[in-house]
Amino acid sequence: SAEKFIEAIENYNANILMMSSLLTTTMSEMKKVMDMLEDRKLRQRVHVFIGGASVGESFREKIGADCYTESVVDLLDYLKKNMARIKENS
């Protein structure tokens, strides 16, 4: 649930969140997580990645996640290029 994501972020002081959705029914929870991050003033310090068969770049834009990747290789490329910026925000 979205609440468990937020609870984990708060408990572990996480600055990176990765979510994956294989079914379209779970996509609404991703949006709920993003809304809760904003509501709890956590969004500025948490870099959000999404992936999975049911999501894409347009969904990433719609919910305001930072990155969508189709594969782990793409994710690693993104992290290599952006890790300094991600660390700055944490």
Domain that holds residue 62: 2-89
pLDDT tens across 15-68, in order? 999 999 998 888 999 999 999 999 999 999 999 999 999 999 999 999 999 999
DSSP codes joined into one string, 51-82: ESTT--HHHHHHHT-SEE-SSHHHHHHHHHHH
| pTM for this predicted structure | 0.87
At residue 89, does pLDDT exceed 90?
Answer: no
40 CB-side CA count, 13 A: 16
Q: Give the count of domains, the chain.
A: 1
Between 39 and 82, whose confidence is greater?
39
Please state, as a whole number, how many other Cβ atoms lie within 10 Å of the Cβ of residue 38: 12
So what's the pLDDT on residue 82?
85
Return the CATH number at 25: 3.40.50.280
So what's the pLDDT on residue 90?
63
